[in-house]
Homo-oligomer: A and B are copies of this chain.
Amino acid sequence: MESKQPNRRRFLKGSAALVGLAAVGSASAQTPAAAPAPAAFIKGSEEQIAYGQRSRFETSVRTSHGGRKSPDAFGLVMHVATPLQDSVGVITPSALHYVATTRGAFIPDIDPKEHRLMIHGMVDRPLTFTMEDLKRLPSVTRLHFVECAANRPSATAKTIQDSHGMTSCAEWTGVLLSTLLKEAGVQSGSSWIVAEGSEEVKGASSIPMEKAMNDCIVAYGMNGEAVRPQQGYPLRLLVPGFEGIFNVKWLRRIKAVDQYYMTYNDFGHLRQEPENAALGYQIGPKSVITFPCVGKQLPGKGFYEISGLAWSGGGAIRRVEVSTNGGRSWTDAEIRGTAQRMAHTRFSLTWNWDGTETALLSRCTDEMGKIQPTRAQVAEFFKVPLVPTYRAPGQDNTIQTWKIASDGSVHNAYS
């Protein structure tokens, strides 16, 4: 799937060799040091046989987003961010998938045997589905990201987990919502649906019927097993490419209606007209370099692979460019694997760092031809001054710049 073969001379023979490898290579020893024997061996326990765990040496964890207390004093806000600084590949492990809810911070403890999904409102045949019913219907399996509209570059972010950790990507399996709506028979004149969850506050979102009939998934599977409780077990709505809050978790009810309904969850949209609030929340083309990123330390000049993630609510990522000189010039990165629609896409670019101060940026283009904007472009569009504490209205898909200091430390360029 990769178009270019790595060039051997770039890694070892060139002036910019791997720091650690250089020593070994120059020694030219015929008998390099073997790996030490493992310190110990673990006997397989019954529990480990049943459901395996990660290594005790792995400490990557989600954190409360932006230092917020989760839940807050009202028990309502839980924002937990994915550790993107440790990410490899495309899938986010379910255990590390970001969680956001402003709909009550407590997770419904749902017995799937008791759970029901009701489809009603402006339909010919109101229907109630058990989980078993849903699993008998035609299914799809698709890779999709979810992203919270609050996910954004900021001056205060000390980690990529803080600035970009409110997005994750998983393999989702379920029934197309259109299949269920066709079964129920949507009546002419119904132009919206309201999707409702099972939280204490019964959080809901209004979604245009056109989107509901297009690619929304009523998902029961996530990364090869049941959707996790924090992601809506046993059933959640996937609204591919729309901002996170539309992806209703613990899904219990879908009502076909003839207008947009302002719901409990729209507090974040009150600044705008309701239609704009709902229709404007497709995620724009966005990318971020996950290595190197703020907080990392490069051990010295030499060869590195710059790696990152790109995604768009507008479809598949078609191109990612990386600048290693603060935006003066751009080079096409390689897209790893097959870019999927509305899914995280891994990109990478080989880079010989000469040890001088510089800045790394990435920008992506999606299949619609839309290009990720700079902060300056967005500030100009909204006619707001581009000060360090600049914060775009609504979602923010602008380019993130990481500064590389001459000592190899990596910093947030906006701090």
Contacts and interface: CB of A to CB of B under 8 A. Distances in A.
A126 B88 contact: no
Contacts of A2: 140
Interface stretch (A113-121, A156-164, A259-267, A317-325): A113-121
Contacts of A25: 125, 127
A218 B32 CA distance: 19
Given A44-B107, A200-B41, A224-B87, A52 B130 contact: no
Nearest to A114: B36
B106 A35 contact: no
Interface stretch (A145-153, A279-287, A333-341): A333-341
Contacts of A130: 20
Interface in A340-376: 340, 346, 348, 350
B88 A225 contact: yes
Contacts of A96: 51-52, 224-225
A25 to B, nearest CB: 6
Interface in A32-70: 32-44, 48-58, 60-64, 70
Q: In the complex, which range does the number of interface residues on chain A fall in? A: 35 or more
A135 to B, nearest CB: 8
B106 A42 contact: yes
A24 B128 CA distance: 7
A168 to B, nearest CB: 9
A302 B21 CA distance: 64
A54 B226 contact: yes
Nearest to A169: B224
Contact of A52 (B143, B230, B350): B230
A71 interface: yes
Nearest to A54: B228
A303 interface: yes
Contacts of A37: 198
A343 B173 CA distance: 17
A111 interface: yes
Contacts of A38: 108-110, 198, 250
A115 B35 contact: yes
A117 B126 CA distance: 61
Interface stretch (A4-12, A388-396, A402-410): A4-12
Contact of A95 (B43, B51, B140): B51
A271 to B, nearest CB: 29
Nearest to A50: B61
A234 interface: yes
